[in-house]
Amino acid sequence: MEKTVDVNTAVQNAKRWLGDVLKDEGIGDVGLEEVEFDGQAGVWLITIGFSRPWNSIKNAYTAISGQPASTRSYRVISVKEPTGEVISMKRREAAN
């Protein structure tokens, strides 16, 4: 399948969509983690990591520093080829 949406556009669309959908949840530290093109399905699979305020770890170090350590959440955003439209979001567990 010939791609008409390049990887940069697919990533931008996925990040913008995720930001819009989760705007009321105060997400931060948004970053690209993985990109894959599934030619069979005709979709870009964009994995994006982010942190949420309620997913912070509190321990002795964070008590001393005053900065809670955030855990990451990961979502795989499917971006349809050739339109660039986001069609799904799925949870992806972090690899250990």
> Does 71 fall in a domain?
yes
- Can you give the residue range of the structural domain that contains 53? 7-91
Helix (H, G, I), strand (E, B) or coil at 94: coil
> Does 29 fall in a domain?
yes
- The confidence score (pLDDT) of residue 71 equals 80
Q: How many structural domains is the chain composed of?
A: 1
Mean pLDDT by 10 residues, the chain (96 residues): 83 96 90 95 96 65 56 93 95 72
The residue type of 1 is: M
CATH number at residue 71: 3.10.450
- The confidence score (pLDDT) of residue 60 equals 56
DSSP 40-67: TTTEEEEEEEEE-GGGEE--HHHHHHS-
Q: What is the rounded CA–CA span in Å between residue 71 and residue 69?
A: 7
> Does 1 fall in a domain?
no
